[in-house]
Structure 1
Amino acid sequence: MTEIIRSLADLTGRYDAVFCDLWGCLHNGKAAYPAAVAALQGFRATGGKVVLLTNAPRPKSSVIKQLDGLGVPRDAYDLVVTSGDAAQMGMLSGAVGRKVHFIGAPKDEPFFTDFAEDLAAYAATQPPITRVPLNEAEGIVCTGLFDDLTETPDDYRSTLLMAKTLGLPMLCANPDIIVDLGDRRLYCAGALAQAYEEMGGQTLYFGKPHPPIYDLARRRLAESGAPADPQILCIGDGLRTDVQGGIGEGLDTLFITGGLEAERFGTDVESPEAGLLLPWLEGEQLSPTFAMGRLR
């Protein structure tokens, strides 16, 4: 049964590293959560490694720049691993062909040019990826909507239907369906991938809860000097991404109830009511190891 805890410090000494989600845990898209920052700094102070594991479809350098702008200090984490990093590896390997059609926002352009050091070395050994119109493509690379502030998946129905007719596989760089930007709820690449699958299209995922992003995170964690076979705790507010992914990897999980699902568990976002949380988790057939309201 899921144990409700008060703070990350309650688990001091039990884990060598955490894989911590960003949006909804560490920030809300507009500003960092000070208590979450302090919790991660405290974990590092005890010798733990903090890996920020995010379904952002951009490379880690772009995410680090965003974190700087949101006020997340660099001493709150050791590593950043993104769905974009893992999806870049898939793209470079030719998972959806070498002539691809891009669906995404201008802010996601670095996906095609900005590679982490390990990925840049791999890219240098592979044939180039070329961006082409839909009718010339071998596959689709989707990082999200062009304008997630105004668009919904319905705006892409005709494009997705044409892609399905052409038999194009889609590489989804961010499996998240939605995120909250302050008090606004926005659609992500996962919503387009879901719509494409419902039409019968083929979709490949590289972020949480799927294995590629965890494989990359484990490799980079090992390279950072973490102990062999480290004890890892996965932290996140996405039940079907952070929690399901962690469980699938055989890792303990900490569900942050005050994120995407905050309205379900009582009036105090900091303290979920067990009588509401535990039956809901049972209905979802997922049981995180721990839960807390906000990361602190």
Structure 2
Amino acid sequence: MRMIPGLSALMDEADAFLIDQFGTIHDGAKPYPGAAETLRRLRAAGKVVILLSNSGRRAANNDRRLAAMGIGPECYDASLCSGEVGWAALRADPPEVLHRRCRVLLFARDPALDILEGFDIELVADADRADLVMIAGSETDRYGYDALWARMAAAAARGVPAICTNPDRLMLADGALHPGAGALAEAYRVAGGTVRWFGKPHPKLYQAAFLLLPGMPHARIFGVGDSIEHDIAGAAAQGCRTLLVRTGILAGAGEAGLSAEAERFGVRPGAVTPRFAW
């Protein structure tokens, strides 16, 4: 794998960057050192910077969180998240259960349900009453995987449809890795439930980004992130070039672990850098 010290090494090769957030430019609470300055320097160099997140909430919530960390609008040209893209897609083509009052079993890190704004919904706590399972985030760090799976298993057995707006299978919380919302959604699918996915590595989030880059060759666009499964595989599938940062979920992986991860998902990052820095 090509090792580079920072993004300045890519200036002759890239016109735009699709940059992951959690694990790449911040740790969920604060930016990584130099990340905001690197974003500003990319824009000053004439590159288009689009933040691409698997956040299950709507864009306004995500942008407020970034601003609170000191990553303001001057750091990027656009911010796209899976929750916003999912909301737009559901408004355009809602599943049958959302054509009427819908009882929703929600999995998220907070009780807000902005992803279903505009629909007639009722939150329920019992899988036996649910018409729809909404998987927008994971709290396995608080309650454990088994407890959360037990809450949704009966809905999967009944064939209740699910929507996942955060496909991340791993999440970093308090310095430790835990099963993410995507792990719960995949278990739901395996158990017989149907899942509609929004977010990396699935194509809709990338398609939304390409609409902001009309006519730009995908080979001049770099997908940047800390996950081979989501950031690297997702961007590569769209014909983009890729840069893996060694923070976030792969921070503790050695070279053997990194190679194993690449083999597992059938894709190798085009370049690797220790952290998101200039």
Same fold (TM over 0.5): yes
Q: RMSD of the alignment, in Å?
A: 2.3
Partner of 1:90: 89
Unaligned runs of 5+ in 1: 114-122, 266-272
For these two proteins, the number of residue pairs brought into alignment is 269
Partner of 2:50: 51
Partner of 1:268: none
CA offset at residue 13 of structure 1? 3.0
CA–CA distance in 2 between the matches of 1:248 and 1:46?
A: 27
Moved more, 187-196 or 166-175: 187-196
CA offset at residue 132 of structure 1? 5.4
Which residue identity is paired with 2:31?
A: A
1:215 matches 2:207: yes
CA–CA distance in 1 between the matches of 2:262 and 2:142?
A: 32
Which residue identity is paired with 1:258?
A: T
Partner of 1:111: 115
Q: Give the match's secondary structure for 1:190.
A: helix
Partner of 1:71: 70
Which residue identity is paired with 2:56?
A: P
CA–CA distance in 2 between the matches of 1:279 and 1:3?
A: 16
CA offset at residue 108 of structure 1? 3.6
**Using a 3 Å threshold, how does the CA distance of structure 1 residues 180 and 156 change in structure 2: closer, same or farther?**
closer
Say which of 222, 229, 248 aligns to 1:240: 229
CA offset at residue 56 of structure 1? 0.6
Q: Please give the per-residue CA displacement for 1:213-261, whole angstroms capped at 9, x wherever unaligned.
A: 1111222x24xxx664462100000110000101111110101123211
Q: Give the match's secondary structure for 1:34.
A: coil
The answer on whether the counterparts of 2:233 and 2:265 sit within 8 Å (CA) in structure 1 is no
Say which of 215, 238, 242 aligns to 1:249: 238
Partner of 2:186: 194
Q: Please give the per-residue CA displacement for 1:1-26, whole angstroms capped at 9, x wherever unaligned.
A: x3111110001132121100001110
CA–CA distance in 2 between the matches of 1:174 and 1:35?
A: 27
CA–CA distance in 1 between the matches of 2:72 and 2:191?
A: 43
The answer on whether the counterparts of 1:19 and 1:52 sit within 8 Å (CA) in structure 2 is yes
CA offset at residue 78 of structure 1? 1.2
CA–CA distance in 1 between the matches of 2:27 and 2:242?
A: 21
TM-score, normalised to structure 1's length? 0.82
Q: Give the match's secondary structure for 1:141.
A: strand
**Using a 3 Å threshold, how does the CA distance of structure 1 residues 260 and 199 change in structure 2: closer, same or farther?**
same
Q: Please give the per-residue CA displacement for 1:23-58, whole angstroms capped at 9, x wherever unaligned.
A: 111001121013222222111101111100000101
TM-score, normalised to structure 2's length? 0.87
The answer on whether the counterparts of 2:36 and 2:70 sit within 8 Å (CA) in structure 1 is no
Q: Give the match's secondary structure for 2:206.
A: helix
CA offset at residue 284 of structure 1? 4.9
Q: Give the match's secondary structure for 1:264.
A: coil
Say which of 176, 185, 198 aligns to 1:184: 176
Partner of 1:119: none
Q: Give the match's secondary structure for 2:224.
A: strand
Partner of 2:137: 144
Q: Give the match's secondary structure for 2:243.
A: strand
Say which of 150, 154, 168 aligns to 1:162: 154
CA–CA distance in 2 between the matches of 1:161 and 1:179?
A: 21
The answer on whether the counterparts of 2:56 and 2:81 sit within 8 Å (CA) in structure 1 is yes
CA–CA distance in 1 between the matches of 2:79 and 2:167?
A: 17
CA offset at residue 188 of structure 1? 2.7
CA–CA distance in 2 between the matches of 1:151 and 1:135?
A: 20
Q: Give the match's secondary structure for 2:40.
A: helix
The answer on whether the counterparts of 1:29 and 1:182 sit within 8 Å (CA) in structure 2 is no
CA–CA distance in 1 between the matches of 2:151 and 2:96?
A: 17
Partner of 1:269: none
Partner of 1:262: 251
**Using a 3 Å threshold, how does the CA distance of structure 1 residues 107 and 39 change in structure 2: closer, same or farther?**
farther
